[in-house]
Chain A
Amino acid sequence: MTTVAEKLDTRGMNCPLPILKTRKALNLINSGEILEVTSSDPGSVKDIASFCTQTGNRLLSSNEADSGFVFLIEKA
């Protein structure tokens, strides 16, 4: 089971806020720690994946739950 260091709820926010908030949240955790991001923006599914590819952070999982889209990101 992965341990989540920090949780970020971006539900209700639209592009580009989920990405900007994710960036800020990642700045506050240590390398190797995991950030959980929840979003209601369908565009964030591809955008978060693209953000991770470009910034070198690892997208551990991307799921759609009742609460919204849930992403687990391991900080590089």
Chain B
Amino acid sequence: MATTAENTTQNAQLDTWLEQRLDELLPKKMAEIETSKTPSMSIIATKGSLDWAYPPFILASTAAALGWDVDMFFTFYGLLLLKKDINAEVSPLGNPAMPMKMPFGPKWFQDVDWPMPNLLMAGVPGFEKVATGLMKKTFKNKGVATIEELRGLCLEADVNMIACQMTVDVFGFDNSEFIPEVSDFVGATSFLPVARKSDVCLFI
């Protein structure tokens, strides 16, 4: 029978050997796990204007095309992007980085970035309708998909769309106003575990 001292020596040797083996094997094993794993992305969509509606749907549809698992949580104004009819508009008011360009006419005319005084943007009725129309026209001219089209492509590619129940209550919506593909009406508590496990998590 081995003495206690011998046992201790053996254990120390075993530990050293084990550590060496782990150092050798672990990076390879981790890389294997990493490559075989399906990447995942969680997006928290919080804005409902036309310009802000694009980034979440573009990123989600592209990730889905790459074979990623995608979950989207729509909260606050983002919730409007789940409505059956998306009436997203855009306003250059308080949106100083937005270029004001015309989608028609000769190139020199289209290249002009029109200076818009705040007073005009705030005071002229229907200004947002015009700005929205111009942005939609520009996007169409440039071959950019509509929001409805991108949302449809997301759904086709099994992007999971989750609505924030609290926002539904606060804004006085009815669940029937939303597309039937909404997988769940839940709170942050239910979405955070999904976000926690995802490789990419974006708040838009």
Which residues of A approach B to under 8 Å, CB–CB? 12-17, 19-20, 22-24, 40-41, 51, 54-55
Contacts and interface: CB of A to CB of B under 8 A. Distances in A.
Interface residues of B, number: 14
B67 interface: yes
B157 A17 contact: no
B61 A16 contact: yes
B167 to A, nearest CB: 27
B66 interface: yes
Interface string B61-72: 110111100000
A51 B65 contact: yes
A41 B143 contact: yes
Contacts of A40: 143
List 7 tightest A-B contacts by C-beta distance, closest first.
A23-B65, A14-B143, A16-B62, A13-B143, A12-B143, A14-B144, A54-B66
Interface in B57-91: 58, 61-62, 64-67
Interface in B139-188: 142-145, 153, 156-157
Contacts of B62: 16, 19-20
Given A13-B145, A41-B143, 9 more contacts: A12-B143, A14-B145, A16-B58, A16-B65, A17-B144, A19-B65, A54-B66, A54-B67, A55-B67
Contacts, number: 38
A15 to B, nearest CB: 8
B66 A55 contact: yes
Contacts of A24: 156
A17 B145 contact: yes
25 contacts: A12-B143, A13-B143, A13-B145, A14-B142, A14-B143, A14-B144, A16-B58, A16-B61, A16-B62, A16-B65, A17-B143, A17-B144, A17-B145, A19-B62, A19-B65, A20-B61, A20-B62, A20-B65, A20-B157, A23-B64, A24-B156, A40-B143, A41-B143, A51-B65, A54-B66
Nearest to B145: A17
Given A16-B61, A51-B65, A55-B67, A23 B143 contact: no
B34 to A, nearest CB: 13
Contact of A20 (B67, B142, B144, B153): B153
B25 to A, nearest CB: 26
Contacts of A20: 61-62, 65, 153, 157
A13 B153 CA distance: 15
A40 B145 CA distance: 15
Contacts of B142: 14
Nearest to A22: B65
